[in-house]
Structure formats: C-alpha cells, structure tokens
Structure 1
Amino acid sequence: MRFSITREALQQGLAASAAAVPTRAALPVLSNILIHAEDDAVRLSGTDMSIFVSLSVPAEVSEAGVVALPARQLLEISRVLDDAPVKFAAADGSADGASAGVDIECGRSKFRLYGQAPDEFPDFPEIDFAGGWEMSAGELQTLIERTSFAVSTEDSRPILNGILWQLREAATVMVATNGHRLAKMSRELDVSGSPDEADLIIPPKALSQVQKLYPADTVLQVARSENHLAFRSADREVFTSLIEGPYPNYEQ
C-alpha cells in the first residue's frame, strides 16, 4: 500500500470516520480507522458496531491496499502536520502493513503506526439501496434540527433515547420526547422512489452525523433493512442500527 494525500483531505476523512469510533472499545479493532486506498481515492471508515461512517477523499494511489490504524494516534498526527502532501506506505511493502506497520511522512515529520489486520474490521451492514428512496439532505436536516433537542438522555426508558421517524404515503413525521417535553415536525414527502410505510427509531448520534457530513443541497440515497438504516451520497455513507421496540403514542 502506498499513497499521497493532502493534509486537508486527510483531516476531513479522519474527522468524519473518527466520529463513530468509541471512546472505550469493546473490541480492540474498533479503536481503529479502516483506510482503503484504491484508484484515485482513499476511503476512511469507523464504527462502534452501532453506527458506521465512511468518507472517500481524493488521493494519489500508487499501490492499492487496506489497513486498520489507531484512530486516536492518526488524529494526533494529523493536527501537527505541515501543510504539505502526506505520504502513507506499508513499511514492508505489503498491501496492509499489519505486521511491519505503516510509515507516514509529511515534510520533515516521520511516523510509524502499527494497527491490526484489516480483515478483523467489521463489515458494514448489507442494505439493498435498490429498494430505497432519495430525498434532500436539507429537508432531513431540518426535521432533525427541529426535534432532536427533545430526546431523552436518561437510561430509564431506552426507547426515548431514540428519535421516531414515521414514513407515510404522502408525509414524513419526526418526533422526539423525554416524557416531559415533546417536539414534532411533519413535512410532505418530497422524495424520488416510494419508501414503505414504517416507524423507525433512530439513535440521535447517527442523525447528528447526517447533519454534519452532508451539505444541505446533497441528494441522499436512503435505504433500510429490518434492523438498519443507511444514508449515502457519492462519497460518504452513514449506517446505523435501529432501536427496537414500540414508541409511545405521542398523540394521546
């Protein structure tokens, strides 16, 4: 593996993917960011097994490869780099650098990081986007902004730790409550494709990533499986587990 990337592109990719990396990982590999270099781009991915985030950024790839490197150390290194091309290379010339480490060079700075075998990194959930729909990121972000502040942060009723997203034939409704206050917003459903009617309970952390990662004018592809929901555009993806259980009847 060998590639060169601008400091700005590296920082952008790390900031997005590291947002999904847990502070205390149940599995050691979850402390890493998966870096996949191929063609003219590098895709950086992070997950806590509940939320999966990935972002593709431009790079000059001379040797394709994939490696899992520690997120915290990558972030620390990226903050002290000069404004110059950043070069990554497997120290032993392999495709993943898992055993010998990965050398990082930028200007006069040189680092070597050791990660884990990339095949230990969890796969993203399998979701069929052919059965999904498209909608404006700005429309979705407005729904999130107007409701997410009311979500519960207490553990006594876990179902209220999620935001309810109701999909209906002609409208979409988003609801959040902590049992004392309630926020609700509905919009006519202006989408391409026809999502099946559903009540989806989504972790706020996942919707926060949708707010941060996608420009408002982005056309989002949205799809779901029985247990997961996914958002994607040409260069970035957010997948999340859904919270199981019935949401309280907020209209009573």
Structure 2
Amino acid sequence: MKFIIKRDRLIAGIQDVMKAISSRTVIPILTGMKIEAKQHGITLTGSDSDISIESYIPAEEDDMVYVEQIEEGSIVLQAKYFPDIIRKLPENTVEIEVDSNLKVTIRSGKAEFNLNAQDAEEYPHLPKLQTDDSFEMPIDLLKSMIKQTVFAVSTMETRPILTGVNLKLVDKILAFTATDSHRLAKREIPVADANIEFQQIVVPGKSLNELYKILDDTEETVEISVTNNQILFRTKHLNFLSRLLDGNYPETSRLIPEQSKTKIQVKTKELLNTIDRASLLAKEERNNVVRLFTPNDSIIEISSNSPEVGNVVEEIGIQAMEGEELKISFSSKYMIDALKAIEYDEVIIEFTGAMRPFVIHPLNEDSILQLILPVRTF
C-alpha cells in the first residue's frame, strides 16, 4: 500500500475517527486506526464496538486532488502515535508506504517515521446496513434535535435504557425523547419522504454527543438507516455507526399534563439569567433548588435561600399570565438546561400545581417540549 495525501485533509479525517477509538477496549486491535487505500480514495476507520466511524477522503473532488500515486491496500496503525506524528509533520503533503512485513514509512519533507503496523484482516468487519430502510434530513435540523434532547438522558447505569434518546418515526413525524425520570426533553419534526416507521429505537446519549461534534455544518443532509440493533448516519464523507440500547423505553406521553392551572409567558434569556444568578446561593447540598412565586400577573419572583450563606430574591417582568397564584420549587440546573435548549426568544411555562410536573415550550411552537418535576420545599 502506498499513497501521497494532503496533510490537512488527513488530519481532519483522523480527528473524526479518533472519537470512536478508546484505549480501554477489550479487543486490542481496536486501539488502532484502520487505513484502507483504493483508487478512488482513502477510508479511515475507528471503532470501540459501541460506535464505529468511517471517514472518507476522495482522491479528487471539485477539481482538487487530495490523494495521488495510490497503490491499493489496507493496514492498522497505533492510534496512540499516528495522529500526533501527522499533526507535527513539516510539509503539507504526506507519503505513507507499507511493505510486505507490515512496516510503515511516513515521509514529509525531511522527516521520516517508521512504524510497526497490524494486519487489517484482523480488524473486525463493520456490519453493512441495508440502506433501503432509510430517510434523509438536513444536518442542521438533526444537530438541533440532538442539542434539544440529549442533555436530559440519565447518567445513572441503574436503568441503562434511560442513558439513551428514544427515536420514533410514525406517520412521517420523527420524535426524539430523553428523560432521566426527573425531567424530559422532546422534539418533533415532520419527515416528508420517510418510507419507514419505527417505535422503539434507543440511541446511547454518548453516541449522539459524539455525532453532534463530528457532523459538519457545511454538508446539507444526512441519511439515517436503521436495523434491529444498529443505526447508521451517513453523509458524503462520513459513516457513523452506533449500536442501539436493548430494552423497552418507558411510555412518556402520559407524563405530559393535558391542561394547566397557571400559565406564564416570559422572555427566555431574562428568566435564564435570573435563575442562573439565584442558583449561586443554591449550591450542591440543596440540590440547586430555586423557588418561583407569582405575586401578581405582571411579575414573577425568583428566590433562593441557603441558611449558611444567605439568600437572594429577584423580580422579573413577564409578558402575560393566566390562572391561579403559584409557589413552586425546582432544580435550577434542570431549568437552566431546559431554557438553554430552547432556541426561541419567549417561552410559555404551564404549571398544574406546586407538586406536579410543569412544561416549558417556545411561544407558538409545540414541537419542542421540556418537562421538569418540581422539588418539595414549600
């Protein structure tokens, strides 16, 4: 195997696949990065058995040559050393050559590295997904759906199914739902050209966080394919494969209250900043609890009290309020997370009493929903 490649393109590909490589894997060869050279381009692969990432660098694209003098072959290189070597090479092209004894030579300018490699035949074969069962969506929309839900997954391994985001595609509506049983985040979008349906696909939150970081905003769409235990996200230069979590995701729709007793409309940023300030005195031992009180229908009062430290009270004006007076306590962290995820200027918060879950959604927009369970303090 041999090729000469533009160093910046190689670095970008390496950075993508490194997100799937772990030094703590039980399969030793997975600590390495697989490199495969074909006449049309180079494919880099990294995997930790949970997620697998393939990054493709075309030999030529849009009249630009990225890889040349390709002699086909494949090899696995130690991911501990290879990325740093490429990053620190002196020139902007790199020559990589492998001999029959799995010795790899990396040349750039006057620098030459010789590395021992492993046989690519020993690298596990990634499952090939049938792409008949797939649908496409804009990348920016997928990223915003991840951002608006993934923060609410559970970090506790006691209920592994809750460490993932539930994906559901029914009647051409795609829904992402995440909950850690104290809060819930949900986002729905229409997918006009979807020719498949599924109810119970749970993607690990960790996988979606990595996917969010790796997806390139410049590419337009991502193709999503699903099998019974894997999900594949595919763009022009990237395949991102994740295992799915086993088990039944809880039915969350019944947690969402049908009607409300108190409804307030408020500017998102103002409320976020006020709760953020109040949380300064609501540190760890009190679960970051802040209180919300509605003294009248034009202001709300946000307060927090820590006997050893002191207390804080701040009033903010609201756009509108209807319903009965309310005093409620909740985790400031959960509220801040929820408000940050809603990328709209104004929100509606609907309460059904001091000890019932309350719902936050953008003004005139029901496709994004955040639900939080209150804390008993009053």
Q: Given the two structures, how large is their TM-score scaled by the length of structure 1?
A: 0.92
1:201 corresponds in structure 2 to 202
2:291 corresponds in structure 1 to none
Q: Work out whether 1:79 is the aligned partner of 2:87.
A: yes
Alpha-carbon shift at residue 177 of structure 1 (Å) = 1.5
> SS state of the match for residue 194, structure 1?
coil
CA distance in 2, matches of 1:218, 1:212: 16
Alpha-carbon shift at residue 167 of structure 1 (Å) = 1.0
| Aligned partner of 2:107 among 105, 108, 122 | 105
CA deviation string 1:172-195 (max 9, x = no partner): 1111122212111112224x3312
Unaligned ranges ≥5, structure 2 = 58-65, 256-378
Q: Work out whether 1:63 is the aligned partner of 2:71.
A: yes
| Aligned partner of 2:235 among 210, 219, 233 | 233
Alpha-carbon shift at residue 39 of structure 1 (Å) = 1.2
CA deviation string 1:227-249 (max 9, x = no partner): 11111122210111100101122
2:39 corresponds in structure 1 to 39
Q: Check whether the contact 1:30–1:48 (CA below 8 A) recurs between aligned residues.
A: yes
| Aligned partner of 1:185 among 184, 187, 194 | 187
CA distance in 2, matches of 1:185, 1:111: 49
Q: How do residues 29-178 of structure 1 correspond to structure 2 at under 5 angstroms?
A: 29-57=29-57, 58-90=66-98, 92=99, 94=100, 99-178=101-180
Q: Which amino acid aligns with 1:117?
A: D
Q: Which amino acid aligns with 1:188?
A: P
Q: Which amino acid aligns with 2:26?
A: A
Residue 202 and residue 84 in structure 1: after superposition, are their counterparts in 2 closer, same or farther (change >3 A)? same
> SS state of the match for residue 163, structure 1?
strand
The structure number with the bigger radius of gyration is 2
CA deviation string 1:132-188 (max 9, x = no partner): 222212221111010111111121111111111111113111111222121111122
> SS state of the match for residue 45, structure 1?
strand
Q: Aligned pair count? A: 245
CA distance in 2, matches of 1:178, 1:113: 46
CA distance in 2, matches of 1:61, 1:144: 40
Q: Check whether the contact 2:232–2:242 (CA below 8 A) recurs between aligned residues.
A: yes
Q: Check whether the contact 2:204–2:245 (CA below 8 A) recurs between aligned residues.
A: yes
Q: Check whether the contact 1:159–1:247 (CA below 8 A) recurs between aligned residues.
A: yes
State the superposition RMSD in angstroms: 1.5
> SS state of the match for residue 179, structure 1?
coil
CA distance in 2, matches of 1:119, 1:11: 24
CA distance in 2, matches of 1:25, 1:153: 21
> SS state of the match for residue 130, structure 1?
coil
Alignment identity in percent? 29
Q: Check whether the contact 1:167–1:199 (CA below 8 A) recurs between aligned residues.
A: no
CA distance in 2, matches of 1:170, 1:143: 16
Q: Check whether the contact 1:169–1:197 (CA below 8 A) recurs between aligned residues.
A: no
> SS state of the match for residue 187, structure 2?
strand
CA distance in 2, matches of 1:36, 1:170: 38
Q: Check whether the contact 2:38–2:72 (CA below 8 A) recurs between aligned residues.
A: yes
Q: Given the two structures, how large is their TM-score scaled by the length of structure 2?
A: 0.62
Q: Work out whether 1:23 is the aligned partner of 2:23.
A: yes
Q: Which amino acid aligns with 1:56?
A: Y
Q: Which amino acid aligns with 2:139?
A: A
> SS state of the match for residue 69, structure 1?
strand
CA deviation string 1:62-106 (max 9, x = no partner): 31110011111111212211242111001x3x3xxxx34100011
Q: Which amino acid aligns with 1:227?
A: N
Q: Check whether the contact 2:102–2:117 (CA below 8 A) recurs between aligned residues.
A: no
Alpha-carbon shift at residue 205 of structure 1 (Å) = 2.6
